[in-house]
Structure 1
């Protein structure tokens, strides 16, 4: 006969994960949006997480995506104003190559008289929800890499050469960070890649 005082407790039945709603998915996407605007996430991290948010089936899957972010929507009021924007980076002859984690101010400009420009924005931090990056070369190519899940608006002109733009298929009502690229070349090519 078993002593009831020494019997093992009966484990509770497992709790099924709670399904996420469309509103909860959108709320997480909104938090990620704020985080990328504050520089807490790179564009690549944002793209990966927001894709996972829209694909999440349970609340647990959503929680993982924001567990390393502050609980509030924004702490911008406690952050001092940013320093004035630096002057545009311009060189006469040579090349500009930027990659890795770098911060893009709300309005930034790069220029080369003669030479190529390669700008990898996949791990860049945006200083605002919408950023304008101007790149200009008189003779040379401009190549830009952007992550999926970010709205990209390409403007500018090419006098002699070609322009190849990987367009976004994001519907206009989706609230995601926006990169406005003003890409101008006199003689050369412009290519915008999505990876």
Structure 2
């Protein structure tokens, strides 16, 4: 008896059963942390969802964890800017650069500085994740911008928020999350030296 091979028309895998990648899990973790910072879920629920997110194997399992949260658009679909301090440190700005909807900074051993004073930003909110690690993260924002740093775990290095709440209409809000680590996280407006530089070269500070 001749056995006929099966027809090559397998059923497509449902979207929810597609295997999740590390990036998929990381995106959901960031979404959950932002939701906690906004007061949408409490810290106990955040811990529970984060644990489940890290153990999720499919898109469907991840989708359940954020189904009751608002969309992260326009942040969704755009690659975040990732800055790593490494051994020597790194910075973004001053000068003109286009801000994505999400920025992630790891202080490492050299530290990270993010300067938003001369940026081009098309978002009403910018999600910034800052992890001070050993050397810390410093964030400089224009006077007209405001910062919500409620989502930062101070850690050993602490959080120093030296900004004012006087946000002008139409200017971005920095939604800050992350942890201070050993080096801490500092968010502030320009200091005197930076202001002098801005005034002496207003076109390209």
TM-score normalised by structure 1 residue count: 0.49
Query: Which structure has more RCO (C-alpha within 8 Å, separation ≥ 6)?
Result: 1
Structure whose CA Rg is larger: 1
- Structure with greater strand share of residues: 1
